[in-house]
Structure 1
Amino acid sequence: MSVIPGAEPFSHDGSRVGVLLSHGFTGSPKSMRPWAEHLATAGFTVRLPRLPGHGTTWQEMNRTRWEDWYAVLDQAFLELHERCDQVFVGGLSMGGTLVTRLAQVHGPQVSGLLLVNPAYTVDDPRLRVLPALQAVVPSLAGIGNDIKKPGQDEGCYSRIPLKALHSQTKLWGIVARDLAEVTQPVIVWHSAEDHVVPASSTELLLARISSADVTEHVLHDSYHVATLDNDAPRIFDESVQFLERLS
């Protein structure tokens, strides 16, 4: 299966402080590569995998489930943990959900979380019929490239694979249920105007986690894919400050 140009994974070996990044649902590493490259330039060891079923076709993605996506990140985390003294995890949208699960499962082995518009719930009444709909309808029109800055492309699908989406909703439920198990330092950026994930998702995160070290930033010049939007340089710089403070 050929990979969409720009959707390839990214890897860089630097210091003994590692950062694992994850892209979002139907997206690809293309949405996170500038951030990954910025962290690599700052000297960190960085891994940005391509999640199974992403960066190819939505039909292939419909044959994958959240456990498949998580397994790839878990493997990358364990590899980083072997070579680094500290490992931080970061993600965009569903990538934020997945790395939050890493923090819940691996506890203090995760040194901190960097989250951009993370998804733990979506206020969409259409999701109520998703369990039945996904059994008969393979896909719906896509919702990607929610970016304010002109000329940007996150390398996402034009269709939403519904079996994969149904699996993602199960992931939301598991991670939201266990948010109190998150005790690591957290930095979260969320856009004031996001057409994909509602503000209630970040509100849920902040209300339930047990972390004592929490930094929240509101982005006023970006939509959902903020890592490619007008506020991206701010995210990159503040992430380096967060990592340097904690390492």
Structure 2
Amino acid sequence: MPVLPGAEPYRHEGGEVGVLLCHGFTGSPQSLRPWAEYLASHDLTVSLPLLPGHGTRWEDLQVTGWQDWYAEVDRELRLLTERCETVFVAGLSMGGALALRLAAKHGDRIAGVVVVNPANKVHGLSAYALPVARHLVRSTKGIASDIAKPGAAELGYERVPLHAAHSLRTFFRMVDGELPQVTQPLLLMHSTQDHVVPPVDSARILGRVSSTDVTEVLLEQSYHVATLDHDADRIAEESLGFIGRLAPRIGKEGTTAGG
């Protein structure tokens, strides 16, 4: 299936500091594209892949699982670490969980982690029914475009395939067990109003990681897809400041020192 216009992966060859951005479940790189372009404009090398089963039609997601999504970001991380001296991982929602697992697994190869409204659990009674329901019902109502800003829209699926949702639930439970292995500096930004991922997920992550350098930022003007919402500029600026603090070669404008 052809990729939907706007859902294409994004890559930018910049300096020696790289950032891997991971989009969310049923979403696409479109939700993180402005963030990626902002970092690229500051001479960072940026990779924003399209996860398998995403960016086409929801039926394509039905035949994928967490192993496929994680393998894609793991591959992109390896390419970035070959290209760059210092690498950061970042993500929105499920992409935040992907970034946290990369941090847990790759240790010192990752200099820091930035997550926005990171998901930690599939909530509600329906989550417990997934093991059986996925064999009876193919899909349920979508979760895309939880955005406060008028006129802004996320390019995501209108349906959630239950086989993929069941795999997502398995993935979250696994990552939750791995959170104590996350030791890198962490910047966690979350919305005070989020109709997809409740604040308890961010609190759970903050309480379980082993990172000692932790910054929590509240996004008071945005819903779940904060990267396309009123706080989009703040997310971009906070993340650049975080990266600049940990990678001294990045100056105020994000350019490599002496470059």
Q: Map residues 84-163 of structure 1 onto 2, 5 A cutoff.
A: 84-163=84-163
Show CA shifts across 1:54-87 (max 9, x none).
0001001000001001111011000000011111
Partner of 1:45: 45
Partner of 2:256: none
Show CA shifts across 1:14-69 (max 9, x none).
01000000100000000000000000001100000000000001001000001001
Cα distance in 1 for residues equivalent to 2:66 and 2:154: 20
Deviation at 1:126, TM superposition (A): 1.2
Query: 1:243 and 2:243 equivalent?
Result: yes
* Aligned residue type for 1:244: G
Cα distance in 2 for residues equivalent to 1:91 and 1:224: 13
Deviation at 1:199, TM superposition (A): 0.8
Cα distance in 1 for residues equivalent to 2:178 and 2:140: 30
Cα distance in 2 for residues equivalent to 1:69 and 1:124: 23
Partner of 1:72: 72
Bigger drift between 114-123 and 72-81 goes to: 114-123
The answer as to whether partners of 1:121 and 1:200 remain within 8 angstroms in 2 is no
Show CA shifts across 1:149-175 (max 9, x none).
011122100000110010000110010
Partner of 1:195: 195
Cα distance in 2 for residues equivalent to 1:187 and 1:143: 25
How many residue pairs end up in the alignment? Answer: 247
The answer as to whether partners of 1:96 and 1:118 remain within 8 angstroms in 2 is yes
Identity, % of aligned positions = 53
Deviation at 1:124, TM superposition (A): 1.0
* Aligned residue type for 1:22: C
Partner of 1:63: 63
Question: Unaligned 5+ residue runs, structure 1?
Answer: none
* Aligned residue type for 1:123: H
Deviation at 1:125, TM superposition (A): 1.4
Cα distance in 1 for residues equivalent to 2:101 and 2:18: 18
Deviation at 1:123, TM superposition (A): 2.9
After TM superposition, the score normalised by the length of structure 1 is: 0.99
Query: 1:168 and 2:156 equivalent?
Result: no
Indicate the SS of the match to 1:21: strand
Partner of 2:54: 54
Cα distance in 2 for residues equivalent to 1:27 and 1:152: 14
Cα distance in 1 for residues equivalent to 2:150 and 2:22: 23
Cα distance in 1 for residues equivalent to 2:123 and 2:183: 26
Q: Map residues 213-228 of structure 1 onto 2, 5 A cutoff.
A: 213-228=213-228
What's the Cα RMSD here? 0.6
Partner of 2:255: none
* Aligned residue type for 1:124: G
Cα distance in 1 for residues equivalent to 2:179 and 2:73: 19
* Aligned residue type for 1:164: A
* Aligned residue type for 1:137: V
Deviation at 1:94, TM superposition (A): 0.2
Indicate the SS of the match to 1:178: helix
* Aligned residue type for 1:97: A
Indicate the SS of the match to 2:187: strand
Cα distance in 2 for residues equivalent to 1:29 and 1:152: 15
The answer as to whether partners of 1:23 and 1:93 remain within 8 angstroms in 2 is yes
Deviation at 1:143, TM superposition (A): 1.5
Moved over 6 A (4+): none
Deviation at 1:122, TM superposition (A): 3.5
Question: Unaligned 5+ residue runs, structure 2?
Answer: 248-259
Cα distance in 1 for residues equivalent to 2:34 and 2:187: 18
